[in-house]
Amino acid sequence: MHVFDLIPPATVADEERRQLEFALRPAAMAGPLAAALRGAGEVPASGRPACHILDVRYEPGARCTILYEVGKLLALGTLAWGAARERVAEAGNGIAPLGMRIHLFPDDPAMPGLAAAMRSEELITALTDALPECYEGEWRIARARVTPVRYRPGRRCTLRLELWARHAATGAPRSWTLFGKVYHSTEKARAVFEHMRMLSEVAPPGAGRLVVARVAGFLPDLPMVLQEPLPGVALDLFLPLAAAGLTSVHARTRSGVVMAASALAELHRLDLTHPRQRSIDGELRRMADRGRAAAAIAPGLGARMADLAETLSRSMERLSLEGREQRLVHADCKPSQFLIGEMKVGLLDFDHAGMADPALDVGAFMAALRQLACRRRASDMDSGMRGLERSFLDSYCDRADVDADFRRRAVWYQAFALLQKAQRAFARSIWSPVPGALLDEARRCL
């Protein structure tokens, strides 16, 4: 008899909770995952490989996708409920008692081009048609090495492409590196490609502090956007060290935060529009709905999420947020998106860019610092992050043409972003204390 067979009949919500509680425990999933993958010939016939969870996306009442690392393999598990259950593809392996479908990376039903992008022969053919130096006949790519960098199941996957080529006339060797981002749809990839091309033209490398990656090509069949690498060190790598009491480390971190604020102010001054309008009111309504849906699994926490969304909505009206001047915003502004160089700051990942109040980006960055303090649970870290929050806000306001209530709006957007982060943290772990702590911090901001 299987362990799942010992569980008595349950309501839909109880079944969802039971499945989640089991699926989100790596130790419990190690055996079923190994058995499913062993049946497909993907793991050794004996032994039990280690299991870790790398990514979770949970939509209460609809579906949950979980990215597992099983030994050296990446396996994507999908649970679905209600109407979403009928839309989940039957292809792939499965864990029948749990009702989970399993797909082995790079097989992702929502991203059919990803598997082709990971096969070097097919990638070389696509690159030859997309890169000017290749389709004009000057260079011939002989070899390509593809390494996944970041994978968000069903959405996008960033790949590091190391290419080796020979000159068609002289035979001289050449090697270079590009980053390719594979998307779930050609329309999304094309929109990112067009916007990044315009952005790199409006913000040339020598113009100021801000630099953005130059677009190198577009592969519609995969669909993939190619970008050249940017120099610098990701700002988030310095942040945990700022709490260690090392004055030199903290000074370097603060310098990086100040540089990031300067680069962000430059972005907001660019004379560039985007077709997407970031509707804060619409997002708040979706947040309230997510909170009410989460209440079926975690009643107290879900109710707190919905209540905070309502509070933010009422205070949004007092601040007249929807009537503010709209500028190009990054809309996913956090320390990991900033590459700090000697004099320049690279800004990455404009997938969520749109038109909105610039205070949205400033508040999101401050929320990311507050989130790190919550996760570390250390008083020195908390104090250090609060100081960096003030440095970022002060530096941005010094370099941007802000109005009298900009700081109040930035703090409101900080609370807004903390609610977003609380819901994402809940989606990754339904029993984690982090969502509650983030909601507490959002209330403190208000």
pLDDT in tens, 179-193: 999 999 999 999 999
Query: What is residue 135's predicted lDDT score, i.e. its pLDDT?
Result: 87
Instruction: Tell me which CATH code domain 113-227 carries.
Output: 3.30.200
Contacts 24+ apart (CB under 8 A), 338-342: 338/232, 338/234, 338/235, 338/256, 338/259, 338/260, 338/263, 339/230, 339/231, 339/232, 339/233, 339/234, 339/235, 340/232, 340/233, 340/234, 340/235, 340/238, 340/256, 340/259, 340/260, 341/231, 341/232, 341/233
Q: Mean pLDDT, to the nearest integer, of 66-70?
A: 96
Query: What is residue 242's predicted lDDT score, i.e. its pLDDT?
Result: 54
pLDDT in tens, 97-110: 899 999 999 999 99
Residue 249 predicted with pLDDT over 90 = no
Domain 233-445 has CATH 3.90.1200.10: yes
Rounded CA-CA distance 188/126 in Å is: 18
Which of 29-43, 192-206, 210-224, 235-249 is the least confident region? 235-249
Residue 76 predicted with pLDDT over 50 = yes
Query: What is residue 11's predicted lDDT score, i.e. its pLDDT?
Result: 62
pTM comes to 0.89
Q: Mean pLDDT, to the nearest integer, of 253-268?
A: 96
pLDDT in tens, 7-49: 444 565 788 989 999 999 999 999 999 988 887 777 766 667 8
Share of residues in the chain with pLDDT > 70 (%): 89
pLDDT range class, residue 86, cuts 50, 70, 90: low
Q: Mean pLDDT, to the nearest integer, of 345-357?
A: 95
Higher pLDDT, 121 or 11: 121
pLDDT in tens, 416-432: 999 999 999 999 888 89
Domain boundaries, the chain: 3-104, 113-227, 233-445
Which of 80-94, 206-220, 266-280, 415-429 is the least confident region? 80-94
Query: What is residue 12's predicted lDDT score, i.e. its pLDDT?
Result: 59
Average pLDDT, the chain: 89
Residue 2 predicted with pLDDT over 60 = no
Rounded CA-CA distance 65/70 in Å is: 15
